């Protein structure tokens, strides 16, 4: 039996994207965003949704650029902090003891200590309501060398990312591998053929 929970933003998993921007004075800012995800393969694009009231919103409109830094599990406290306070009031990088690194491709900073970074140029802006969706074209992805396996491929086990669960108001680690994509379902494919 299913029970109705109402019209709510409940889904699993949602990401923990740390969105890096510069303000008008060039001060780096970082904000935690869970409303977002990859939205196009060609050109490669990632969407983030932010409220107009955020400091990041003004920076996005002004600079038309952002980065997404993906934290490891040891960065939960900093990631949560980035979602609690506003960059209007404080230099969040300085308080968190993290390094804003200027992207060489877009006009935005990323978190130097975080393992995975996507550098994005804003290509679409869509008003949805309380949130505005910014679609950014991914110009490059940069990963810590320690997160690449012996073949030079990015590895979830080495990045050790985590997710946000809005229903639970909690962060969860990425857990055990359950199966390979475009593979686990092949038994059913044969059945249906």
In the region spanning residues 29 to 58, those forming contacts with a copy of itself, defined by CB under 8 A, are 34-47, 49, 51
Nearest residue (CB) to a copy of itself, 48 versus 59 = 48
- SS3 for 104? coil
Q: Is 26 in the site for a copy of itself (CB under 8 A)?
A: no
Q: Is 61 in the site for a copy of itself (CB under 8 A)?
A: no
Nearest residue (CB) to a copy of itself, 22 versus 110 = 110
What's the angle, vertex CA 152, arms to CA 69 and CA 106, rounded to 5? Answer: 35
Nearest of 124, 147, 102 to residue 46 by alpha carbon: 124
Residue of 52, 62, 88, 124 that binds a copy of itself (CB under 8 A) = 124
Q: Is 113 in the site for a copy of itself (CB under 8 A)?
A: no
Q: In sequence order, what are the residues at sequence separation of 6 or more whose Cβ sits closer than 8 angstroms to the Cβ of residue 157?
A: 177
Nearest residue (CB) to a copy of itself, 7 versus 24 = 7
Q: Is 151 in the site for a copy of itself (CB under 8 A)?
A: no
Cβ proximity of 12 and 20 under 8 Å: no
Region from 21-29, 59-67, 160-168 binding a copy of itself, contact rule CB under 8 A: 160-168
Nearest residue (CB) to a copy of itself, 25 versus 191 = 191
Q: In sequence order, what are the residues at sequence separation of 6 or more whose Cβ sits closer than 8 angstroms to the Cβ of residue 61?
A: 125
- SS3 for 36? strand
């Amino acid at each position: 039996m299913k029970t109705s929970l109402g019209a709510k933003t409940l889904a699993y998993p949602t990401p923990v994207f740390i969105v890096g921007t510069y303000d008008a004075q060039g001060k780096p800012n970082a904000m935690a965003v869970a409303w977002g995800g990859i939205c196009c393969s060609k050109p490669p694009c990632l969407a983030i949704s932010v409220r107009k009231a955020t400091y990041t919103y003004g920076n996005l409109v002004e600079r038309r650029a952002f980065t997404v830094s993906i934290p490891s599990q040891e960065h939960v406290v900093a990631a949560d902090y980035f979602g609690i306070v506003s960059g209007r009031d404080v230099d969040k990088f300085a308080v968190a003891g993290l390094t804003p690194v200027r992207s060489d491709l877009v006009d935005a900073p990323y978190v130097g200590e975080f393992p995975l970074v996507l550098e994005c140029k804003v290509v679409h802006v869509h008003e949805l309501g309380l949130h505005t969706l910014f679609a950014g074209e991914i110009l490059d992805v940069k990963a810590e060398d320690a997160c690449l396996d012996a073949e030079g491929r990015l590895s979830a086990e080495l990045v050790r990312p985590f997710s946000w669960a809005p229903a639970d108001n909690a962060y969860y680690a990425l857990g055990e591998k359950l199966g390979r994509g475009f593979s686990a379902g092949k038994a059913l494919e044969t059945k249906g053929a």
